[in-house]
Amino acid sequence: MRSSEGRRGERAVVVTGASSGIGKAVALHLAQRGFLVFAGVRRPEDGDALTAAAGADAGLVRPVRLDVTVPEDVCAVAETVKAHGTPLGGVVSNAGIAVAAPMEFVPLDDLRRQFEVNVVGAVATVQALMPQVRAGHGRLVMVGSISGLVSSRVLGAYAASKFALEAVSDAFRRELVDWGIPVSVVEPGRIATPIWSKSLAEALERLERMPPEALTYYQGMIDEVREGAKQAEVNGTPAEAVARAVHRALTDRRPRTRYFVGFDAHLINALRRVLTDPMFDRLIRATRR
């Protein structure tokens, strides 16, 4: 059962990582449905492109400079939202990166960066905005991934950060229940977004910094994951499907703790409940043939 959305612009929402992909789709979708959207972008030109894409709803999209790993940016956004005065109906923590590399050789600085953006940045954003969330009786929506439930070959660093985000979200939900602040995790499967091509380009550069053995041991696996990423960008579930799930998490009268998006996400969630680890490992190996 859903709640009514009210008048246009009477509720605000902060969306991180709104420059492209899922975040952009979420920002546009929420603006279309009457939310005043403070959309976190890292570059002014991304903000301009976002407002242009909003068309008739451009007045409800407010791009704000936001790198979730920069404390000054996070604090500035919190002050901007507070100064505007519109009740904050929710925070959508979406900003994220995907580090691709075999765990045996993943550069530790890249691993730290993976967690800094996907986990620490998410917590920092929520902490800064919690006073407005409380005042506005808002909600928290964390954009996770099915990789937060089942780790993938060559994407172990990314999966580890999403596993951590699951724990963070569970902690927030259980700690905030006494104040009636719902916390939901949106769990997409493979989504057709630019993150795949961007991650591939970065992965190729990362390979050049790895020892020669990395390619000797993992070239075949890397090629398979690379091809899968290319296919996901073309054939993955549209980002708009994630946006619809986020909207539900913000407006359902009784929001779920988790919203799965895409057939693959629902399938993996079902399989992980019935398969043992060795069975799941064999299933993953079978997909390589």
All domains in the chain, ordered by first residue: 12-95+108-190+234-262 (3.40.50.720)
Q: What pLDDT is stored for residue 6 in this prediction?
A: 58
Model's pTM, two decimal places?
0.92
Enumerate residue ranges in the chain where pLDDT < 70.
Answer: 1-6, 195-197, 199, 287-289
Q: What pLDDT is stored for residue 5 in this prediction?
A: 55
> Beta strand 36-41 with 61-65: parallel, antiparallel or unpaired?
parallel
Separation between Cα atoms, residue 53 and residue 56, nearest integer Å:
9
Catalytic residue, from 158, 217, 218, 259: name it.
158
> Beta strand 12-15 with 88-93: parallel, antiparallel or unpaired?
parallel
Which of 182, 72, 79 minimizes the C-alpha distance to 124?
72
Per the document, the length of the chain is: 289
Torsion angle (degrees, nearest 10) of CA 162, 166, 171, 173:
120
Q: Catalytic residue at 158?
A: yes
Q: What pLDDT is stored for residue 195 in this prediction?
A: 67
Would you say the C-alpha torsion 227, 114, 239, 182 has a positive or negative sign?
positive
Separation between Cα atoms, residue 162 and residue 217, nearest integer Å:
26
Question: Which residues does residue 289 pair with via DSSP β-bridges, in sequence order?
Answer: none
Q: What pLDDT is stored for residue 275 in this prediction?
A: 85
Q: What pLDDT is stored for residue 1 in this prediction?
A: 37
